[in-house]
A = this chain, B = another copy of it.
């Protein structure tokens, strides 16, 4: 007997692989979905807030983060259009979330029936989103625990370029050096220096605006990132 569980994204766990592109089935048609627009740098929810909803990005970029009591911040992930974030296993949000750029969100009210019943595609997306978060977090532990500043920047640029898919080899960084630093476990100065160094070495090129990166030698970057 094939139950909803098997059709809801866990089956791939046991044989098939997860499709690279998720179905764009998270529409506003369901009665539990509303829209929300958030200005750049505005908060979507705070760490510790009751988790009433989860979110899918229609446009924009979001960061999730944790704070230490003295203000040190760790950005857990950046989310891009199509990504789902804000899923929690417990009662409340263990990370805060805010908009990196102006962002349009689809807000899914968290209800017991949301994952069952009518929308199997949504359930599949939700489970896939959690598994993807887990894989990214595990990969990121390797970066934070064992990679040098240069290697972290190389890994980050490559990963972002794979997700953002601008014209080949070009990435428009939506986030500030500060956000990159807090994601990569560095200071803003170290990020700047590592980026400059990669540019001097010819692995990347930075147009004067400094928020765009052209990957000039992806092979060398990949070798650095391992």
* Chain A residues close to B by CB (< 8 Å): 1-6, 8, 10-15, 17-18, 66, 68-69, 72-74, 76, 87-91, 94-95, 110-117, 123, 126-128, 130-135, 137-138, 140-142, 144-147, 182-185, 226
Residue among A88, A137, A145, A146 having the largest count of chain B Cβ atoms under 10 Å: A145
Smallest CB-CB separation from A147: which chain B residue? Answer: B68
Complex Cα distance A12/B5, Å? 14
Copies in the complex: 2
* Residues of chain B lying within 8 A (CB to CB) of residue A4: 3-6
- Further contacts, 8 of them, CB under 8 A, given A10-B127, A12-B90: A3-B5, A10-B115, A14-B115, A18-B90, A66-B138, A68-B147, A94-B135, A144-B145
Contact B74 A11 (CB under 8 A): no
CB contact under 8 A between A130 and B123, given known A117-B1, A146-B72: no
Contact B138 A95 (CB under 8 A): yes
* Residues of chain B lying within 8 A (CB to CB) of residue A3: 3-5, 116-117
* Residues of chain B lying within 8 A (CB to CB) of residue A133: 134
* Residues of chain B lying within 8 A (CB to CB) of residue A89: 12-13, 17-18, 128, 131-132, 134-135
Residue among A13, A73, A74, A111 having the largest count of chain B Cβ atoms under 10 Å: A13
Complex Cα distance A15/B109, Å? 11
* Residues of chain B lying within 8 A (CB to CB) of residue A2: 116
CB contact under 8 A between A134 and B141, given known A3-B116, A5-B5: no
Contact A76 B13 (CB under 8 A): no
Complex Cα distance A2/B114, Å? 11
Complex Cα distance A126/B90, Å? 16
Contact B5 A8 (CB under 8 A): yes
Contact A74 B116 (CB under 8 A): no
